[in-house]
Amino acid sequence: MSCRANILVTELFDTELIGEGALPSYEHAHKYLVEEECEAVPHRATIYAQVVESKRMWAWNKVLPINIRLEGSKGERVIVPPRDMQVCAGSPCVYDIQLNQVNRNHFTTLTEVIEIFRVDFSKAVSSLPARHTVQAKATTSGQAQVVLSWWDIDMDPEGSIKCTMAPYWVHPTPKNMQWRDHWMQCVYFLPKELLVNEGECLYISATHDDYSVWYSLECSSVTCGPDILSERPLCSCQAHLMCNRQRFGELNDQQRNEAYVKALKAVVRPDSVCVTISDGSLLSLFGYLLGAAQVYSLEISAMSRRVMEKILAANGLTGKVIISERRPEQLTSMDLGNNQVGLCAWIRNGLNLI
C-alpha cells in the first residue's frame, strides 16, 4: 500500500467471535496497514456469558450412567462409565448451536448475564493468550455445568447501531429477532461440575488463545488472576476423540436406549449369538445384559476398541462381550467360535439397525 488506511472494514467473525483468526488479522492490520487513529467497522465487540445447570446439555459432554430395564424380576442394570471418563475435562472445542431452539425448561440459569471482555477494533489488538475474570453472585443454587456465551458488535463508536447474538430469554427485542444460520451461540462445558449456593460469590474466567476460548469457574479468587492462565481442557479418557457432541447425546438418550432395548427384547433368546457392527455402539452391552449366550462387537477403529474395552471393564463384562478387530467382510466362522450368528446389529448413517 502506498499509504496507511484510516478506515478498516472487516467481517472476520464466527460464532465464537475469534475462531476464524480475527485477533491475528486485526493485529497485523494495525501493525502494517492502518493509521494509529483509524476507525474500524465494526467498531467493537463484547462477549457475554451466563452459567447454567442443564442435564440435557451436560449429556452432550460425556458418557453418563445408563439405566437398562431387564426382563421380569431381574430389575434394572446401570451401565457405568469408567472413572477416567467421569473425571475427564472433556473436549476443548466449543459447541455452537441455536440456543433459540432450546426449551427454557432444559436449563436453569445460575447467574445473571455477565460481560466477560471487549475488543476495540479501532485500537491495537493483541493475539497473545489472555485471561479475563469476572466476579458474579449465584442467583440460585444448583450444579454449575455449562457456560452459555454469545457476543454483540457495535458498528459505530457510539454503539447506536448494534448487532447482537443474544438468545431469546435476554434479547432486547425477543419478538423481533433476526434468524441467523451463520452466527449462533456457544455452549462451553466446564472442566468439572461445581455445586454453587444462592448468593455465593463466583469467579468466572474466560481464557483465550489466538483462535479459541475456554471457561473455568471458581469459588475463590486465588487462582483467577489475569496472569494465571488456566490450562486448556483436554480429553484424557479418549472418548471425546471418538464421539462428537451429537454422539454423546445419542448414547445418553434414555428414550432412545429404551427403544433399542425393547427391540432387542423381542429377538434376543438365551441361545442367541449376537454381532454388533459399529465403532462405539453400546448395543453389544445391551444384548449381553438381556441374556444373549454370546455377543461379539466389531470395533474396527483402534480408538473405539480402547474406549469399549474400558467400558466393558468398568461394568465387569470383559471377556463376556468379545471385541474383534475384524472388518465384517473379513469375518470367518473361527472368529465367532464356529457359532451360528442369530442376530446382527449395526449402525449406518447414524441409525441403529437390528
Long-range contacts of 231-237 (CB under 8 A, 24+ apart): 232/92, 232/207, 233/89, 233/90, 233/91, 233/92, 233/191, 234/89, 234/92, 235/88, 235/89, 235/90, 235/91, 236/84, 236/88, 236/89, 237/62, 237/82, 237/84, 237/85, 237/88, 237/307, 237/310
Contact 220, 203 (CB under 8 A): yes
User: Which is the catalytic residue, given 11, 37, 76, 158?
Assistant: 11
Catalytic entry in 20, 39, 218, 309:
20
Beta-sheet strands, E only, within the chain? 5-9, 34-41, 44-53, 66-69, 76-79, 95-97, 108-109, 114-120, 130-137, 142-154, 162-164, 185-196, 201-208, 213-218, 273-277, 294-298, 321-324, 343-348, 351-353
Is 325 known to be catalytic?
no
DSSP assignment of 75-128 equals -EEEEPPPHHHHH-----S-EEE-GGGS-GGG-EE-S--EEEEEEETTS----S
Where is 31: in which H helix or E strand? helix 22-32
In angstroms, the CA 250 to CA 253 distance is 5
Q: Is 8 helix (H, G, I), strand (E, B) or coil?
A: strand
Cα–Cα dist 124/29, whole Å: 9
Q: Return the bridge partners of 9, or none.
A: 41
Active site residue 218: no
- Residues annotated as part of the active site: 11, 20
